Structure 1
Amino acid sequence: MTHPDPMTEPEADPSVGRGAPPRPQSLMLSFFGIHVLGTGTALPSASVIDAFARVGVGEDAVRSTLTRMVGRGLLERHRRGRRMYFSLTARAAEVLADGEERIQRTGAVNRAWDGTWTLVGFSLPESWRSERHDLRSRLVWAGFGPLQSGLWVAPGRVDVAPIAAELGLGDRIRAFHGEAAAPTEAGPLLRTAFDIDAIAEGYRIFLARWGDGPVPAEARDDLGRQLLLHTDWLDLVRRDPYLPAEHLPGEWPAARAEALFRELAARFAPGASRIAEEILDRWEPAGERTD
């Protein structure tokens, strides 16, 4: 599996997933992931505006987010008569499919770690700030944390070749698989490379936001609740490097949070599907595109 651009740039926005309202682009990615991914269809801006009104996002914010995402190569724009439709690009579909894989099949708790680590070393010139940022963002997405200057680590076997190839940094990156040797121990290594307390706090905030009591007030119906729930959860999953359970603190909150997510996702899905059928004007573009 490749590890494409996470697009939400977790390094650049640490507040996401810690109680801050989701950004419009995060909501948009979740929305297209739920309702467009795998269908080959496009949606008109009017349908998107209608859906986002159900989570308190106004028309101007929706239109500017759609335009920005077209500019970033995440959405394609199609004209059909007087209406403008939007579909996922191949790049965005790849990222969303990876997120769906994490949500549906990987799970939030790693109970099958075999003791193997992946190490990545790199050295980039100081002037390569953009390349360094892109590399770090992709390493975070792939589950790596910084161990020391120029050396990153992830539990398990991670295929680093697609990252290096995508960024054109194959001659600047060195990758290794292996096991830790004394005096290095897994627990302290994890705490050095990853902010375990912050990861746990993200899950606790999710539990507080979606647990006992009313769902977030900005969600007006099941479509809105589904959108906010999936956005919150995917932001958490994207920031969780899937650390081995045996080396995490007791009462690790990820399992409880995942159970709550799945319960609520199943509860909201039927109503959200009915509303989506009513308001989403789907269309299958035949290659038309308006740049």
Structure 2
Amino acid sequence: MKPRSLMFTLYGEYIQHYGGEIWVGSLIQLMNQFGVSESSVRGAILRMVQSHLLQVRKIGNKSYYSVTPQGGRRVDDGVKRVYAAPSQTWDGEWRILMYSFPEEKRDLRNEIRKELNWTGFGMISNSTWVSPNPLEKQVLDMITTYKIEDYTMLFSSSTIVSHDDQSVIDKGWDLGKIADEYGIFIDKYSPKFDELREKALNNSLTDLECYIERTQIVHEYRKFLFQDPGFPRDLLPKNWPGMKARELFWNIHQLVSIPAVRFFESVFEPAPDKEIQPERHKAINPFQEVYV
């Protein structure tokens, strides 16, 4: 696990439901369970602070970290996309973002490309990205966050004159490759689910084991946010394996969630000047809380 990606998983799955801020010592202990050394954790934190994704508060000789508005938007978008059920029907509208950055802003342009890819947009030319999903608010928030109003323009259209909708999909995404990746996920986690269910029946699952399993499967499933655009079902091929992968993810997540949260609570240390009212029910069952 890359430390930065693991940190996003921890903030989305656990920390945000406990006030959104955590002592660095707790964060180190949580990440140590996945073989991430203290020096690697601190290095990742420093880079994320420099990238304006994390911010720090000092209280005495202790440091407490929370996500910035920019980092928080990434966490919130990730949580919503991981746990949201796909829409059944497409509204017939394409959302089209065009941009033009001067060469001296190429680093910013590359960052915007990563953001669009993360959000589920597909690139149909070097400066034109499209999505069939209602992502206007997320894109406008991104434009405001990065202050790129002068370099971008967002459209929506229900008509493409030169091509049909399937041609746009084929140009912007490789659904065959995504389906193959879902197949790998299913092959890996189907026997894992059987193993965990057997242990649960025998009452031999530990809180630490559940924390590791839950965090790992969320971490693995989050990777699809960079690949799968989350199309409405009527734009997907028949027997789309993403549906089976999602059900498998849900089953494992629910099996291990309560003990996983217990382990997190045993390690978590908030700032002493904050009165934390944990949203424990959301940490245990984000499927129900985020999207009913």
- Whether the TM-score (by the shorter chain) exceeds 0.5 is yes
Q: Is the 8 A contact 1:157 1:177 kept in 2?
A: no
Query: Amino acid of the residue matched to residue 203 of structure 1?
Result: Y
- Counterparts of 1:186-205 in structure 2 under 5 Å? 186-205=165-184
Shift of 1:245: 2.8
Shift of 1:203: 2.0
Among candidates 53, 57, 81, match of residue 102 of structure 1: 81
C-alpha distance in structure 2 between counterparts of 1:130 and 1:96, whole Å: 22
Query: Amino acid of the residue matched to residue 69 of structure 1?
Result: M
1:224 aligns with 2:224: no
C-alpha distance in structure 2 between counterparts of 1:44 and 1:196, whole Å: 41
Q: Which residue number in structure 2 is paired with residue 4 of structure 1?
A: none
Shift of 1:29: 1.2
- Counterparts of 1:74-223 in structure 2 under 5 Å? 74-104=53-83, 106-107=84-85, 109-159=86-136, 160-181=139-160, 183-213=162-192, 221-223=209-211
Shift of 1:285: 4.4
Q: What is the count of residue pairs matched by the alignment?
A: 260
Q: Which residue number in structure 2 is paired with residue 24 of structure 1?
A: 3
C-alpha distance in structure 1 between counterparts of 2:160 and 2:52, whole Å: 44
C-alpha distance in structure 1 between counterparts of 2:21 and 2:7, whole Å: 13
SS where residue 115 of structure 1 aligns? coil
Question: Which structure has the highest helix share of the two?
Answer: 2
Q: Is the 8 A contact 2:133 2:231 kept in 1?
A: no
Query: Amino acid of the residue matched to residue 221 of structure 1?
Result: E
C-alpha distance in structure 1 between counterparts of 2:103 and 2:144, whole Å: 21
Q: Which residue number in structure 1 is paired with residue 34 of structure 2?
A: 55
- Structure 1: unaligned runs, 5 residues or longer: 1-21, 287-291
Q: Is the 8 A contact 2:12 2:75 kept in 1?
A: yes
C-alpha distance in structure 2 between counterparts of 1:223 and 1:98, whole Å: 22
Query: Amino acid of the residue matched to residue 273 of structure 1?
Result: V
Q: Report sequence identity in percent.
A: 25
C-alpha distance in structure 2 between counterparts of 1:42 and 1:157, whole Å: 31
Q: Structure 1's 150 and 260: CA in aligned 2 closer, same or farther, altered over 3 A?
A: same
Q: Which residue number in structure 2 is paired with residue 254 of structure 1?
A: 242
Q: Which residue number in structure 2 is paired with residue 265 of structure 1?
A: 253
Q: Is the 8 A contact 1:54 1:223 kept in 2?
A: no
Q: Is the 8 A contact 2:208 2:260 kept in 1?
A: no
Deviations 1:138-188 (A, max 9, x none): 322332211124322111343143333333332332322112345522122
Aligned-residue CA RMSD in angstroms?
A: 2.5
Q: Is the 8 A contact 2:118 2:225 kept in 1?
A: no
Query: Amino acid of the residue matched to residue 31 of structure 1?
Result: L
TM-score of the pair, normalised by structure 2: 0.79
